[in-house]
Chain A
Amino acid sequence: DAGVIQSPRHEVTEMGQEVTLRCKPISGHDYLFWYRQTMMRGLELLIYFNNNVPIDDSGMPEDRFSAKMPNASFSTLKIQPSEPRDSAVYFCASRRDIRGGYTFGSGTRLTVV
């Protein structure tokens, strides 16, 4: 099992540009989560999906952020337009079911200049 796969590993972009982060969960995992990690705010849950359906997006900071899960093996997190305060490490995680632990991807380090 290759684990949760995220791309890109690093992204540097200019303020105002669109950024798309990608995630492939572990096969058979029904839950997918997007987290953001910063020194100031720690690990914050942005949104999660169950069986490809968004369940709770209350953590999405504002309308500039959107996430999709078109099928069981792929999800995207998009920021448009990006701002310097969006700079963080974004983690995707998946979980087999409601009783299981999370497996995190390697994360995407986003820098907006």
Chain B
Amino acid sequence: GENVEQHPSTLSVQEGDSAVIKCTYSDSASNYFPWYKQELGKRPQLIIDIRSNVGEKKDQRIAVTLNKTAKHFSLHITETQPEDSAVYFCAAGRQLTFGSGTQLTVLP
């Protein structure tokens, strides 16, 4: 099955700085890579996704990049705001396997 590694496990940035979270996956057949944001006590919510026929996708302050050769993908958040503070999960695989999560804290 798919194996997804995510790092870092915790990340603190100053408001306005950028944050980058990275994931690697093992199954070269994987072709769909979503990112979820989970606030404390809430459900995971899809924030952006990318398919294997695309190398990069942007949605306002959020972007995801994919390197299929190296089997890794990354989430980039620019101009971070305190409301970006949450746990972020990457996922991959035919039926999604989730990474272990990154606790992002944006310091005001």
Contact = CB atoms under 8 A, between A and B. Distances in A.
Nearest to A33: B95
Interface in A61-113: 91, 98-99, 101-107
A87 B89 CA distance: 21
A14 interface: no
Nearest to A6: B43
Contacts, number: 34
Contacts of A102: 34, 46, 96
A31 to B, nearest CB: 8
Contact of B44 (A45, A48, A91, A99): A91
A107 B49 CA distance: 22
A106 B95 CA distance: 20
Contacts of A18: none
Number of chain B interface residues as a range? 10 to 19
A45 B97 contact: yes
Contacts of B94: 98
B95 A103 contact: no
Contacts of A103: 46
Contact of A101 (B46, B98, B101): B46
Q: Which 10 A-B pairs have the closest CB atoms?
A: A104-B43, A43-B98, A101-B46, A42-B100, A104-B44, A101-B34, A106-B43, A101-B49, A48-B95, A107-B43
Interface of B: 32, 34, 42-46, 49, 51, 89, 94-101
Interface of A: 31, 33, 42-43, 45, 48, 56, 91, 98-99, 101-107
6 contacts: A42-B98, A42-B100, A91-B44, A101-B34, A101-B49, A106-B43
Given A91-B43, A102-B34, 20 more contacts: A31-B95, A33-B95, A42-B98, A42-B99, A42-B101, A43-B44, A43-B101, A45-B95, A48-B95, A56-B95, A91-B44, A98-B94, A99-B51, A101-B34, A101-B46, A102-B46, A102-B96, A104-B44, A104-B45, A106-B43
